[in-house]
A = this chain, B = another copy of it.
């Protein structure tokens, strides 16, 4: 499966900074909608999307803020995404008695549609270039740290001003490593109701082994309906359903939200990632998974609670392992070295370029040197792993930050960001303190092992006691799992938090200053230098290569194009499509043993199915984690598929795109309809998706 956006340190720390425009090969590219690849499309495919086409596609595309993409697929608010994007909400809607993640869900009437706990969906309604404004906030004579603060202050001001003026979610986005800044305004939806999800076993057939591979046999879909004022949202910007769906060798598009790429990192940055970040991330996930599996082994209810968490970590682990292999590949590193050398000689070939940009690589190298020293304290001086501890830490930070002028606050706590932040802070989603106890114990044990007993964070958190003891007592006594308690703390402000005797709030308070110091050190000694150098590199790239390029991914809306196409694999060819036949082949090939077992409904209703129906397909579309749930479109902007994964060969796509074997994996539009009609008795929903008129169901009339 394509990872949902993984908020790794990579994303958090670097995504705003050192990337830059790229030169493009083949179907490569994640293009912003202000700079679509019209020339390339015309040259390669003889197709030029009109401005209306582009606007329609943009306005029908949806961002799932908990880490994925989606799209409107009906005039009355139906939104299609992946099961694994919906999984977080499915987990939150589930109870010990009803496991929607595992068993699926179908609302036969609108009244049965279930409101999700804390979904936020965004539609990009406008884009304004604010580069001059942000860059000119930096005053002559400011050093790197001051410059970073000035830019951040201007960004916060711009976002707040826009929010006040328009009421729309307003994000300033750094593209091309700060070569450009854009104000993106989003229409925001928070009443998002579940309409349909299949069983996890068919959505994620083949489980962890088949994840990120192809040929593949997954119905990784889910359908929500978006409401406003308790009524389904009406929109003319939705994708018409193509039952024929994707065809071999056809031109297709994807409009979605790739999370983060490192394609233009400098060599010293890649080396830092390779030598420090990946090994730490991988060993962290491995031990956290072990802790969660031990928790899950206590019983079926514990297994249910850990379901989506385990999936997310397994998914991230497989992705990171593939990326790590890629970044360790000598050929790939040689290619990156060659690219950087060419870029540097181009810049060094013109004296004015040299003086303006030439120092950037050495500046980055200096930042990476410090990063190697600061990374472990930065990463392990935090309460990680547990969502309850995360909520506690966020509340402790929140009440302090909101007392400051907007410009001086930590990222994530600016005025324009508070509404979305509160959606999570006050979410009614259930929490499981025993599970949080297991993961927080492991997390603190790891901090102890990585930093030693004398580290100030470890001392503040543990006070010399074993992590298990501290965490057991903390989780036993905390009320942070109760949304009304969290609300009361936030409402009470700093005074209430300072006075709280809730043990988890106390723990978060005890470590707060150490956490802040580590974050500050990282910001001042790494981020600020990378940021300034990154802006130079971004400008240098415009100077050297022009803007016939796309910026690294930033979890903002992008357009990619490609061809439905098989590829050479394992000595033979992978086809462009799989069929329902293949689902049953793979299941019986493994003797129906998990993770290759068939949901009962699929086994029982096999004879109803047209087994020649295409199930999944691959294309050269350039995607990455965050693109999960994106629509695949044909020239008519009809929906022909649903992105849910990249193949194993695409994992190095974080650093390089290789058109020969890099493939996006999607659910075919025909199999979604086949499944809805013949397995799930969801004919009315299929009709709505296909725009087939039929009398509104009686129950819909009494919809709330």
State the CA gap A578–B611 with chains docked (Å): 17
Q: Which of B577, B579, B589, B612 contacts A215 (CB 8 A)?
A: B589
Q: Which of B571, B575, B611 contacts A212 (CB 8 A)?
A: B571
Contact assessment for A210 and B572 in the assembled complex, using a CB-CB cutoff below 8 Å: yes
A248 within 8 Å of B (CB atoms)? yes
Q: Which of B569, B581, B584 contacts A570 (CB 8 A)?
A: B569
Contact assessment for B648 and A570 in the assembled complex, using a CB-CB cutoff below 8 Å: yes
B residues in contact with A212, CB < 8 Å: 571
B residues in contact with A585, CB < 8 Å: 578-579, 581-582, 585
A206 within 8 Å of B (CB atoms)? yes
Contact assessment for B589 and A578 in the assembled complex, using a CB-CB cutoff below 8 Å: yes
B residues in contact with A210, CB < 8 Å: 572
Contact assessment for A581 and B588 in the assembled complex, using a CB-CB cutoff below 8 Å: yes
Q: Which of A573, A585, A591 has the most CB of B within 10 A?
A: A585
Name A613's closest neighbour in chain B (CB-CB): B588
Q: Which of A209, A581, A647, A648 has the most CB of B within 10 A?
A: A581
Contact assessment for A248 and B570 in the assembled complex, using a CB-CB cutoff below 8 Å: no
B residues in contact with A432, CB < 8 Å: none
Contact assessment for B579 and A589 in the assembled complex, using a CB-CB cutoff below 8 Å: yes
Q: Which of B213, B571, B582, B588 contacts A572 (CB 8 A)?
A: B213
How many whole Å from A127's CB to the nearest CB in chain B? Answer: 37
B residues in contact with A209, CB < 8 Å: 572-573
B residues in contact with A611, CB < 8 Å: 581, 584
Q: Which of A217-252 contact B (CB under 8 A)?
A: 248
A586 within 8 Å of B (CB atoms)? yes
State the CA gap A206–B574 with chains docked (Å): 11
State the CA gap A386–B504 with chains docked (Å): 85
B residues in contact with A53, CB < 8 Å: none
How many whole Å from A484's CB to the nearest CB in chain B? Answer: 46
Q: Which of A188-227 contact B (CB under 8 A)?
A: 206, 209-213, 215
Name A582's closest neighbour in chain B (CB-CB): B585
Contact assessment for A612 and B591 in the assembled complex, using a CB-CB cutoff below 8 Å: no
State the CA gap A210–B611 with chains docked (Å): 22
State the CA gap A569–B572 with chains docked (Å): 13
Contact assessment for A213 and B584 in the assembled complex, using a CB-CB cutoff below 8 Å: no
This chain: copies in complex = 2
A590 within 8 Å of B (CB atoms)? yes
Contact assessment for A206 and B578 in the assembled complex, using a CB-CB cutoff below 8 Å: no
A322 within 8 Å of B (CB atoms)? yes
B residues in contact with A582, CB < 8 Å: 581-582, 585-586, 589
B residues in contact with A576, CB < 8 Å: 589
A 546-589 to B, binary, CB cutoff 8 A, 1 in contact else 0 = 00000000000000000000100111110111110110111011
Name A321's closest neighbour in chain B (CB-CB): B571
How many whole Å from A664's CB to the nearest CB in chain B? Answer: 15
How many whole Å from A525's CB to the nearest CB in chain B? Answer: 38
Contact assessment for A648 and B571 in the assembled complex, using a CB-CB cutoff below 8 Å: yes
B residues in contact with A590, CB < 8 Å: 566, 575
B residues in contact with A648, CB < 8 Å: 570-572
How many whole Å from A304's CB to the nearest CB in chain B? Answer: 26
Q: Which of A571, A577, A591 has the most CB of B within 10 A?
A: A571
Contact assessment for A213 and B588 in the assembled complex, using a CB-CB cutoff below 8 Å: no
B residues in contact with A248, CB < 8 Å: 591
Name A207's closest neighbour in chain B (CB-CB): B572
B residues in contact with A584, CB < 8 Å: 579, 581, 611-612
B residues in contact with A586, CB < 8 Å: 575, 582
State the CA gap A612–B584 with chains docked (Å): 8
How many whole Å from A349's CB to the nearest CB in chain B? Answer: 38
Q: Which of A589-629 contact B (CB under 8 A)?
A: 589-591, 596, 611-612
B residues in contact with A578, CB < 8 Å: 585, 589
Q: Which of A4-63 contact B (CB under 8 A)?
A: none
Name A322's closest neighbour in chain B (CB-CB): B571
Contact assessment for B570 and A589 in the assembled complex, using a CB-CB cutoff below 8 Å: no
Q: Which of A206, A215, A248 has the most CB of B within 10 A?
A: A215
How many whole Å from A92's CB to the nearest CB in chain B? Answer: 30
Contact assessment for A588 and B570 in the assembled complex, using a CB-CB cutoff below 8 Å: no
State the CA gap A591–B573 with chains docked (Å): 14
Q: Which of B215, B572, B581 contacts A206 (CB 8 A)?
A: B572
State the CA gap A570–B573 with chains docked (Å): 12
B residues in contact with A647, CB < 8 Å: 571
How many whole Å from A651's CB to the nearest CB in chain B? Answer: 9
State the CA gap A575–B582 with chains docked (Å): 13
Q: Would you mind naming 17 contact pairs between A and B with Cβ atoms under 8 Å apart?
A: A206-B572, A209-B572, A209-B573, A213-B572, A322-B571, A569-B570, A570-B648, A571-B648, A575-B586, A575-B596, A576-B589, A579-B588, A579-B589, A581-B584, A581-B588, A581-B611, A582-B585
**Further 20 A-B residue pairs, CB within 8 A, beyond A213-B572, A585-B585:** A206-B572, A209-B572, A209-B573, A211-B572, A213-B570, A213-B571, A248-B591, A322-B571, A570-B648, A571-B647, A571-B648, A572-B648, A575-B590, A575-B596, A577-B589, A577-B591, A581-B582, A582-B585, A582-B586, A588-B612
The 8 A-B pairs at the shortest CB distance, nearest first, are namely: A571-B648, A582-B585, A575-B589, A581-B585, A213-B572, A209-B572, A581-B584, A213-B571
